[in-house]
Amino acid sequence: MILFEIKNLVKHFGGLAAVNDVSFQVEKGEIFGLIGPNGSGKTTIFNCISNYYPVTSGSISFKDQNITGMKTNKICKIGIGRTFQVVKPLGRLSVLDNVIAAAFSKVQTKQEARDVAMEILEFCGLSHRKEVIAKSLPIGERKRLEITRAMATRPELLLLDETAAGLNPTELDDAIDLIKKIRDKGVTIIIVEHIMKVIMSISDRIHAINFGQTIAEGIPKEVSNNRAVIEAYLGEEYAQG
C-alpha cells in the first residue's frame, strides 16, 4: 500500500533549482532511504514536505490526501513527524519538557502528555536524561532527542534528516537499533543519511538524487551498483568503506 507520494517536485531558490522534478512513492511500513551528495537537495525535499517553504511546483500526498501547501503544524497533526539535520532542541527546557510539548499534539491534559512522554523517552532510551536541560546535552543525545520528540507526536511517517551524523561508533549502533525498533512499531520512515553503513543496512529501498534530480532508485544492492550513483556519490566514500 502506498502511504506517501511525491510527484514531480520542483523547488527553486532564486535561479537555483535545488529540487528538480523528483518523484517517489513510499510503501507503508518500509524504511525508505534518500541519498545524494552534499547540497543535492535532500533537506530541501524534507522542508518542502513539511512546508517550511512553498514548493515551486509538483504535489505531495499522504494517505491519498493531497497535502501540498498544508500548514507545517497541520502536517505534523495528520501524522508526519520530522527531525532537523541542524538540531532544534527547545534549549532552556528539560528533555522531559521537550517531549511533553510534543506529546500535546495528540493529547489534551498535562497528565496524559506526561505519560506519553515518559513512555516514548523509555522507548527511545533517553529516560535517564529526562531532567537535563536540553541545550546541555552532547550532540549524540541531542540527535536522539530530535527523534524522541518527533515520536512523541505519534507519527505514521517519520522523516529523519541525518540523525546519525556526528555519532561515535557505539552511538551509531544504538541509532540503527532505534530506527529499526521504530519501524517494527509500524512507523514508516524516510531516512536521509550520509553514512553508507547506516543507509545500506537498514533501508528497504533507496532513492538517489544528484543536483536535485533523480539518478537511481531500487533496493540497496541495485543502487550501490548503479553507475550514476557510484560516479556521483559513492565513488569516494563507499570505496573507502
Ligand X SMILES: Nc1ncnc2c1ncn2[C@@H]1O[C@H](COP(=O)(O)OP(=O)(O)O)[C@@H](O)[C@H]1O
Task: Summarize as ranges the residues that interact with ligand X (CB under 6 A).
Answer: 13, 16, 18, 36, 38-44
CB of 97 to another protein, least distance (A): 7
CB burial of residue 19 (10 Å; 0-12, 13-18, 19+): buried
- Can you tell me which residue has the cell 523547488? 11
105, interface contact from another protein, Mg ion, ligand X, none, CB < 5-8 Å by kind: another protein
CB of 196 to another protein, least distance (A): 27
Among 10, 17, 93, 118, binds another protein (CB under 8 A): 93
Q: Which is nearer to another protein, 69 or 235 (by Cβ)?
A: 69
Binders in 92-121 for Mg ion, by CB under 5 A = none
Helix ranges (DSSP H) in the chain: 42-49, 72-77, 95-103, 110-123, 139-152, 169-184, 196-202, 220-225, 227-229, 235-240
Sheet order of strands, 65-66 included = 16-27, 2-13, 57-62, 65-66
Q: Should residue 67 be labelled a site residue for another protein when binding is judged by CB under 8 A?
A: no
Among 89, 162, 164, 232, binds another protein (CB under 8 A): 89
Q: Should residue 57 be labelled a site residue for another protein when binding is judged by CB under 8 A?
A: no
- Enumerate the β-bridge partners of residue 157: 80, 188
Binders in 74-93 for Mg ion, by CB under 5 A = 85
Q: Who contacts 108 (Cβ-Cβ below 8 Å, separation ≥6)?
A: none
Q: Which is nearer to another protein, 65 or 240 (by Cβ)?
A: 65
* Contact residues for Mg ion, defined by CB under 5 A: 43, 85
